[in-house]
């Protein structure tokens, strides 16, 4: 049976051109932000402004780091996001392994509870969390933000890890326990190395979720712990917007996540597809 061949022109108009337009539409705002951050502040509102800068300058980035505390805000975001990854993976890995390997009373109810948590808007939890953090004296601290970010990162991360653990045959656990490993040792020495791509994918999900979070950071933190998203918002004034600083801050804020994705791209893709097929 012969299959119909698609001509190069038809393939271009039906496949390549639509994909190129979609990619351009997706990265267009980021390109505009990058180009704007490289323009002098004086040319942003001139009558003869153009899309591409006539003069490329790093003036906005120099002003961003010299006149504001943006570098300190970047450090706060890194501490909070990294702490959320450590706490989120510690809880989600152990919880997901228990759900995947053991059958106990209330197991299905607990799994559904993890799923239902993500169905509620984040704004509904901000007042209870504020009251809890106030009583625990965790307002405007790294620990308070890490705990708050973990509340919405752990449930979905647990479900991600359940799918990865389900893809690993239980015979590996049983063989390790026959050789003398306890259940925790079998998980640590046998299962976790096999599911390492999935763990990396889950960790990146938690990191990006915490890095981009704004609502909790704006309510539960203040002057002492001002993360990146809140710092960028402060560049928008009541009567004026510092577009040069704002776009420069956006580029700097997106750079760590972009570099992280580029460094572990292969492991991330492997982890995202590992739980799709049960081995």
Residue 193, pLDDT score: 87
The CATH number that applies at residue 124 is: 1.10.3720.10
96 lies in a domain?
A: yes
Residue 1, pLDDT score: 47
Tokens of 234: 């402060």
255 lies in a domain?
A: yes
Residue 190, pLDDT score: 85
193 lies in a domain?
A: yes
Bridge partners (DSSP) listed for residue 241: 236
218 neighbors 230 (Cβ within 8 angstroms) = yes
110 lies in a domain?
A: yes
Q: Which domain holds residue 243?
A: 60-274
Residue 273, pLDDT score: 56
268 lies in a domain?
A: yes
Question: CB 79: neighbour CB atoms within 10 A?
Answer: 15
Which run of H or of E encompasses 206? helix 196-212
158 lies in a domain?
A: yes
Residue 66, pLDDT score: 86
- Burial call 163-182: b when 16+ CB within 10 Å, e when fewer: bbbbbbeeeebeebeeeebe
pTM check: above 0.85: no
CA atoms within 13 Å, Cβ hemisphere of 24:
6
What does the alpha-carbon distance between residue 231 and residue 75 come to, in Å, rounded to a whole number?
12
Residue 276, pLDDT score: 47
Residue 278, pLDDT score: 46
Bridge partners (DSSP) listed for residue 173: none
Q: What angle do CA 195, 89, 218 make, to 5 degrees?
A: 140
Q: How far is CA 232 from the centre of its chain?
A: 17
pLDDT per 10-residue tile (average), the chain, 279 residues: 67 85 89 88 74 82 86 92 94 90 85 80 86 91 92 88 87 82 83 87 90 90 88 80 86 85 69 50
Provide the domain count of the chain: 1
Three-class secondary structure of residue 241 per DSSP: strand
Question: CB 214: neighbour CB atoms within 10 A?
Answer: 14
């Amino acid at each position: 049976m012969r299959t119909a061949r698609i001509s190069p022109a038809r393939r271009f108009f039906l496949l390549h051109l639509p994909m190129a337009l979609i990619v351009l539409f997706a990265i267009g705002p980021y390109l505009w932000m990058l180009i704007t951050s490289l323009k002098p502040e004086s040319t942003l509102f001139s009558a003869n402004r153009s899309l591409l800068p006539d003069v490329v300058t790093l003036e906005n980035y120099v002003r961003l780091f010299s006149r504001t505390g943006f570098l300190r805000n970047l450090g706060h975001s890194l501490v909070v996001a990294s702490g959320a990854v450590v706490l989120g993976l510690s809880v989600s890995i152990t919880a997901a392994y228990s759900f995947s390997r053991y059958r106990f009373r209330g197991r299905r109810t607990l799994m559904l509870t993890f799923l239902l948590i993500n169905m509620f808007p984040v704004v509904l939890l901000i007042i209870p969390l504020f009251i809890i953090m106030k009583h625990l004296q965790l307002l405007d601290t790294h620990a308070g933000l890490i705990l708050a970010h973990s509340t919405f990162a752990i449930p979905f991360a647990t479900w991600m890890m359940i799918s990865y653990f389900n893809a690993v045959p239980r015979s590996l656990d049983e063989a390790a326990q026959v050789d003398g490993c306890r259940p925790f040792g079998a998980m640590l020495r046998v299962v976790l190395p096999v599911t390492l791509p999935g763990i990396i994918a889950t960790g990146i999900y938690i990191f990006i979720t915490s890095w981009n979070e704004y609502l909790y950071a704006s309510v539960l933190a203040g002057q002492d712990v001002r993360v990146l998203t809140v710092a960028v918002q402060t560049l928008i004034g009541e009567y004026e917007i510092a577009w040069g600083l704002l776009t420069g801050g956006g580029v700097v804020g997106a750079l760590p996540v972009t570099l992280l994705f580029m460094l572990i791209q292969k492991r991330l893709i492997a982890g995202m597809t590992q739980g799709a097929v049960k081995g």
